[in-house]
Amino acid sequence: MFDVEKIRKDFPILSRKIHGKPLVYLDSAATSQKPLSVIEATDKYYREYNANVHRGIYAISEEATAAYEGAREKVRVFINAQSVEEIIFTRNATESINLVRFTWGKQFIGKGDVILISEMEHHSNIVPWQLLAKEVGAELLYIPINTETGRLDQNAYKKLLGRKPKLVGIVHMSNALGTLNPVQEVVRLAHEAGAVVIVDGCQSVPHMPVDVRDLDADFFAFSGHKMLGPSGIGVLYGKKRVLETMEPFLGGGDMIKEVTKEGAIWNDLPYKFEAGTPNVAGAIGLGAAIDYLKDVGMKNIWAHEQEMAKYTLKKLQAISSVLIIGPREAVDRGAVISFALQGAHPHDMASIFDDAGISIRAGHLCAQPALAVHGVDAVARASFYLYNTKEEADRFLKTVQKVKKIFGS
């Protein structure tokens, strides 16, 4: 049974008061809060078995290695990858995507090649490809957004595939619009056109069941801190046969089998792409986060968030002078709700919300192109997670009314 009040008790921060009012945290798309089990798991590592991994011939190093590799197995099962060789720990999704840029990208994308991404990408799935395109003389093209519906223009996508892109980059769920993209279909069409596909799963993996084998993407990136895990730990999933074609990313310890003065032999997957001492505590914390999410159930979390999106979208749209940026119906979208209010700048809104104890995001959301095509340069965004309630949504809606009153919108 999904019991939001019981869940809330697991998150120490949710009992905080902000400016004398109970904290309403509506910025989980930026980063999620952490349950006690995650905080305790990282704490326990530092207190009881802190040691480097893959090295020491002593008990606590073996324990640390087992916990670190155990977390990798938890990630594998969570996204249904075939093998732990396909799970590379990184710092965050940004580093995961940049890893692909500096390895596969530099090897397989050259002068005149086409890279195709969508207009609704987060900057982390735009800027690496802009840099690569500039460096090698490739062309970067964008799949347009239909601004009426907040969804990808599928026909334009099909046409653009005629340009035979080497790489297609697509966000699973948009952090700015909430749009859930039909990634399975996007991947299928890209593969038919001969492209390799990288999916940004930052906003999908924390909120819904994700099966990378179903999606069939070649690369899939996400961050731990958005899914109840600690910051500083992220994941790059890559299909084994694609990873096997790639040269290393960073050089150093742990990514080699043998080093001589003349050169080195690379370690096996996934260690080949994990140079240096990894974020052991982060991985262990991420493992604990996955345990927590599985315990609640991803289907239940998704259902709860769908309910929150439906409830909030309906009431928010009923307020005059509110403009929703993104899909207006709670279908194929997450509980990430971006909006503008006539006459009130998003930063002013965020200050008034903060005064009411409500944390929302305001600004360009690290997705400037997605907002620009909608004709706005900043929005306010409320994003919900498993610990948010309808009472909190009501407080949010009440505060929208307050902003309206102050600015006479």
Partner 1 sequence: MNMYQENILDHYKHPRNKGKIEGADFQHREPNPLCGDVVEVYVQMDGGKVADVKWEGAGCAISQASASILFESLVGKTETELRKLNTEGVLTLLQTSVNPARLKCATLGLVALQKALK
Q: Which is nearer to partner 1, 336 or 352 (CB)?
A: 352
Neighbour count for residue 162 (Cβ, 10 Å)? 8
Q: Is 18 in the site for partner 1 (CB under 8 A)?
A: no
Q: Which is nearer to partner 1, 226 or 361 (CB)?
A: 361
Q: Is 69 in the site for partner 1 (CB under 8 A)?
A: no
By the 8 A CB rule, do 25 and 335 touch? no
Q: Which is nearer to partner 1, 43 or 377 (CB)?
A: 377
Size of the site for partner 1 (CB under 8 A): 18
* Cβ at position 347, least distance to partner 1 in Å: 4
* Cβ at position 368, least distance to partner 1 in Å: 8
* Cβ at position 366, least distance to partner 1 in Å: 12
* Cβ at position 207, least distance to partner 1 in Å: 27
Q: Which is nearer to partner 1, 205 or 362 (CB)?
A: 362
- Three-class DSSP category at 142: strand
Binding range to partner 1, per CB under 8 A, among 65-73, 168-176, 201-209, 401-409 = 401-409
Place of tokens 């260690």: 271
Q: How far apart are CA 144 and CA 117, in angstroms?
A: 9
For partner 1, the binding residues in 367-386 under the rule CB under 8 A are 377-378
Task: Indicate the helix (H) or strand (E) that contains 115.
Answer: strand 114-118
* Cβ at position 18, least distance to partner 1 in Å: 12
Place of tokens 């959301």: 365
Neighbour count for residue 74 (Cβ, 10 Å)? 20
The DSSP 8-state label assigned to residue 225 in this structure reads G
Contact pattern for partner 1 over residues 323 through 362, marking x by CB under 8 A: --------------------xxxxxx--xx-xx------x
328-332 contacts, C-beta under 8 A, 24 or more apart = 328/150, 330/306, 332/151, 332/179, 332/180, 332/182
Which tokens is 248 given? 């290393």
Please state the separation of Cα 262 from the chain's center in Å: 40
Q: Which of 84, 242, 356, 366 is catalytic?
A: 366
- Active-site residue, 202 included: no
Cis bond upstream, residue 327 (ω within 30): no
Active site amino acids: 366
Q: Which residues bind partner 1 (CB under 8 A)?
A: 343-348, 351-352, 354-355, 362-364, 377-378, 406-408
